[in-house]
A and B are shown apart, each in its own frame.
Chain A
Amino acid sequence: MNAALTIPRTLDITAIRQEFPILNREVKGRPLIYLDNAATTQKPQQVIDALVSYYSNYNANIHRGIHTLAEEATASFEQTRDIVQAFIGAPSREEIIFTKGTTESINLVAYCWGRNNISSGDEIIISNMEHHSNFVPWQLLCQEKNAVLKIIPIDDNGELVMEEYEKMLTTRTKLVSIVHVSNALGTVNPVRKIISLAHAVGAVVVVDGAQSAVHLDIDVQEMDCDFFAFSAHKIYGPTGVGVLYGKKALLEAMPPFQSGGEMIKDVSIEKTSFNDLPYKFEAGTPNIADVIAFRSAIRFVLECGKEKIRRHEEELLDYAHQELEKIPGLKIIGKAKEKVSVVSFIIEGAHPQDIGILLDNRGIAVRTGHHCAQPLMDRFCIPGTARVSLAVYNTKYEIDELVKGLHKVVKILSK
């Protein structure tokens, strides 16, 4: 592994902010305050540089070429695989499949594993707080196979009702797919327990790590999940890259996802034999530049130190909770004991959309709406929330500005 990965660094937020060129820009005449990090994080200079460097110095198609550029590009692309493997503690590099994002990773499992292992009357369990990406593929699969989709309920704090989950598990449970950290509430789910209970009835478990990979330490072996999906763009990396980790035995037994170049071993008129893992699942020319730049994003996170980032974000999250609750009529949705980075809220008499527009007017970017989790919004009987989500570069000053902005918003909307 790269030696630079282990050099510790104290978190100097001012210096870190300087690594993100976009944080220098203004919105509506005010300095940008970016609080929509759960949607996508901003990119540090080293990620941008890696993209430019690839296209400027060694752009080539990978794996097949024998010329120098192809060799350099292939080596760099494959190095990201090694680093991702280390980043999530996967036992082998063959288990790291590059996709275009969490959505594609989950769809790959639904398509390749699901279609071959789910039959009529089987049961799939998901939760009431899933992102549509981890909801719709299973709903469609169940419709297609005449299987049963069961939904783990959540309580008023936004935590899974684990007793209900335990009751749902039967010998017909074939798959449990669960979000690790909720994008709409910030709830951290007890995945280890969920997984061991599922394994006890022989079910396979998919973990949607779209929100967790950036905040929590991920060790897929310790977690013992069968599949783990996440996106680079939520970890300070480029868009268009995702990862699917899967246990080797499962991946090997699965048919390919798409077919074409790269995923084959031999093609004759009679028959095609497929390439080995992970290439079997990476048909066609992959997103070479963004995969390469993803490595710089991981390096950035590791250089900062996940633990240090977490402490910084925790402090901000507590502060945000405390200050937001002082705003008259504001109600925080999602008060799980284990929670990271996200504060979702509603304000009495104020539509989230109005809150979002008026905050944008002050250069403050938050998310409003249902956060691709409509079943969750229905559970709380609300059309949506305003959501603040934090990253390493956010500051107390920004929370203060948010709170000031919200006071003004409430004043305007309640006139």
Chain B
Amino acid sequence: MNEAGSILETEKEIVEEFALFDSWDDKYEYIIDMGKKLDPLDPVFKTDENKVRGCQSSVWLAADFQNGKLYYKADSDALIVKGLISMLIRVLSGRTPVEILEAKLDFIREIGMTTHLAQTRSNGLLSMVKQMKNYALAYKIKDPLASKN
């Protein structure tokens, strides 16, 4: 899935894309667009177990482990959150658990979405990141090969 560059390179790409917009409305429209392009999540994954806690909207996150790499799938009933997840997936999906655990994800701050990190209780971006890293941690522990990466 991620034949593109490294985590940092993908983050840089996103930051550059956002630099094209002056207004917040445009930035949000772009986020929403990205969310709409997210691969649909099969309803079988929309279980309580896959629900990310701490979000005002419903967010489901599932992960698949193949050849030492994690692939995320997700959905939300709110458009902005869905867009934010799609960015996280773009950055983190197709990486090894170690890469995911080490990712600092500074791009979130750089594109001005810090408020979504602070308001954990209602937006849950932080909970999403945590959940993605939890998956990585779980697979790192399960798969000794992955931790040697």
Decide yes or no whether B145 CB sits under 8 A from chain A.
no
A330-357 contact mask (Cβ, 8 Å, vs B): 1 or 0 = 0000000000000000000001111011
B-side binding surface: helix, strand, loop or mixed?
Answer: helix
Complexed CA–CA distance, A383 and B55 (Å): 12
Find out whether the CB atom of B56 lies under 8 angstroms from the CB atom of A384. Answer: yes
Complexed CA–CA distance, A380 and B64 (Å): 37
Decide yes or no whether B80 CB sits under 8 A from chain A.
yes
Find out whether the CB atom of B24 lies under 8 angstroms from the CB atom of A412. Answer: no
Measured as residues with beta carbon below 8 angstroms from the partner, the interface class of chain B is 10 to 19
* B24 interface neighbour in A28, A353, A354, A415, Cβ under 8 Å: A28
A-B contact pairs, 24 of them (CB 8 A): A28-B24, A351-B57, A351-B77, A352-B56, A353-B56, A353-B122, A353-B123, A354-B78, A354-B79, A354-B80, A357-B28, A358-B25, A360-B115, A361-B25, A361-B28, A369-B122, A383-B58, A383-B77, A408-B25, A412-B25, A412-B28, A413-B32, A415-B29, A415-B32
User: Closest chain A residue to B77 by CB distance?
Assistant: A351
* A357 interface neighbour in B29, B58, B80, Cβ under 8 Å: B80
Find out whether the CB atom of A368 lies under 8 angstroms from the CB atom of B56. Answer: yes
Decide yes or no whether B81 CB sits under 8 A from chain A.
yes
Shortest C-beta distance, A404 to chain B (Å), equals: 13
Find out whether the CB atom of A358 lies under 8 angstroms from the CB atom of B122. Answer: no
Q: B106-122: which have CB < 8 Å to A?
A: 115, 122
Q: B3-31: which have CB < 8 Å to A?
A: 24-25, 28-29
User: Closest chain B residue to A369 by CB distance?
Assistant: B56
Find out whether the CB atom of A412 lies under 8 angstroms from the CB atom of B32. Answer: yes
Known A368-B56, A384-B56; contact A351-B79, beta-carbon cutoff 8 A: yes
Question: Which residues of A have CB within 8 Å of B79?
Answer: 351, 354, 413
Known A368-B56, A368-B122; contact A351-B25, beta-carbon cutoff 8 A: no
B39-72 contact mask (Cβ, 8 Å, vs A): 1 or 0 = 0000000000000000011100000000000000
User: Closest chain A residue to B23 by CB distance?
Assistant: A361
Question: Which residues of B have CB within 8 Å of A384?
Answer: 56
Find out whether the CB atom of A351 lies under 8 angstroms from the CB atom of B78. Answer: yes
Question: Which residues of B have CB within 8 Å of A356?
Answer: 122
Complexed CA–CA distance, A353 and B57 (Å): 7
In the A-B complex, the 6 residue pairs with the closest CB atoms? A351-B78, A353-B78, A361-B24, A353-B56, A353-B57, A369-B56
Question: Which residues of B have CB within 8 Å of A408?
Answer: 25
Complexed CA–CA distance, A413 and B115 (Å): 20
Question: Which residues of A have CB within 8 Å of B25?
Answer: 358, 361, 408, 412
